[in-house]
Amino acid sequence: MKERRDNEPMFGWFSSWVWPFYTDTENIKSIIHLRNDGIRPYIELEPTEHPLALIQSEGISSEQVIKMYEYYVHGKK
């Protein structure tokens, strides 16, 4: 039986809002890597100058992570 992760990566479009931190996050070219055991796919954004693609390739500051966490977990401030 073929495992999900044995499939070749496939092209897709990242089309989720990451508001208010990143605007225009719809229809970003990406590569989808499937994984097994109910684990969500890994989404690899196309290397561009889009801020979301940059943090995926270069990393994100701990300050920005805290800011996002506080917004999404503790409510909008």
Q: What is the DSSP string of 47-74?
A: SSS-HHHHHHHH---HHHHHHHHHHHHH
pTM of the model: 0.78
Q: Which domain holds residue 8?
A: 4-74
Tokens of 12: 């897709």
Enumerate the β-bridge partners of residue 56: none
Count of structural domains, the chain: 1
| pLDDT by position in tens, the chain (length 77) | 678 878 899 999 999 988 888 888 999 999 999 999 889 999 999 999 999 999 999 999 999 999 999 998 988 76
